[in-house]
Amino acid sequence: MSETIPVISAVYETVLYAEDVSAAASFYERTLGLPLLREAPDRSAVFRMSSECHVLLFNPS
In the chain, domain spans: 13-58
Give the separation between CA 53 and CA 28, rounded to whole angstroms: 15
Q: Which of 4-13, 27-36, 40-49 has the lowest mean pLDDT?
A: 4-13
52 vs 27: CA distance, rounded Å: 21
Residue 1: predicted pLDDT: 65
How many CA atoms lie within 13 Å of 34's alpha carbon, on the beta-carbon side?
22
Q: How many other CB atoms sit within 10 Å of the CB of residue 57?
A: 24
Q: How far apart are CA 11 and CA 58, in angstroms?
A: 18
Which CATH architecture is the domain 13-58 placed in?
Answer: 2-Layer Sandwich (3.30)
pTM comes to 0.78
**pLDDT tens digits for range 29-39:** 999 999 999 99
